[in-house]
Homo-oligomer: A and B are copies of this chain.
Amino acid sequence: MIRVQREDFDVGAEIDRLSRGRHGVGGIVSFVGVVRGAAGGEPIGAMTLEHYPGMTEKLLAEIEAEARQRWPLEDALVIHRYGRLEPGERIVLVVTASAHRQAAFEACEFLVDWLKTKAPFWKLEETPSGPRWVEAQASDDQATKRWVAE
C-alpha cells in the first residue's frame, strides 16, 4: 500500500498492521526518514516538499509493485509526506514484511533508495539567506536521462 499525505503517521501502528493476522510473517523491516537538523556541522532549517499529486501516487505504486515482484513479501507499505517539515519531523516510512528477514531488508532498502533519489518530490530549503531549491542528485539525472532526448 502507498500513501502520500501532509499529516504525520504512527510508526508503531503501521508496523503492527502489517504483521497482525499474517501467520507467515517472521520479520518486519522499517525505515523512518526524518528531517535532519544539521549537516556537516551546519544547522538546517525547515523545508517544503512539493510534489505532483496523481503522478507521485502512480510512481510509488509502481515501485512498490516492483518490490513485491522481486522479493517474497507478505506485505509492504510506503507513506510519504509533503508540505512544510521542520527538523526532526518524520518524512517517510517504508515497511516490508516477509517470512525471511533478508527479503524484508533488501526490499526495504530498495524502496528507500528509490524514494531518496527518484521519487517525484522537489525540496525548498529555508536557509539564512532565504529559500533555496535543492538541486537534483546526479543519480536522478542519470536515471532520468533515458527518458529525455536532449
Prevailing SS type, chain A contact patch: mixed
Are the CB atoms of B16 and A38 closer together than 8 Å? no
Are the CB atoms of B105 and A101 closer together than 8 Å? no
Known: A31-B28, A34-B28. Is A23-B87 also a contact (CB below 8 A)?
yes
- A29 proximal to B (CB < 8 A): yes
The listed residue (B29, B37, B88, B116) touching A29 by CB distance below 8 A is B29
A94 CA to B144 CA in the complex, in Å? 36
- A12 proximal to B (CB < 8 A): yes
What are 13 residue pairs bridging A and B, where the CB atoms are less than 8 Å apart in the complex?
A: A11-B12, A15-B30, A19-B34, A19-B88, A20-B88, A23-B36, A23-B87, A24-B38, A27-B31, A28-B32, A30-B30, A39-B99, A101-B109
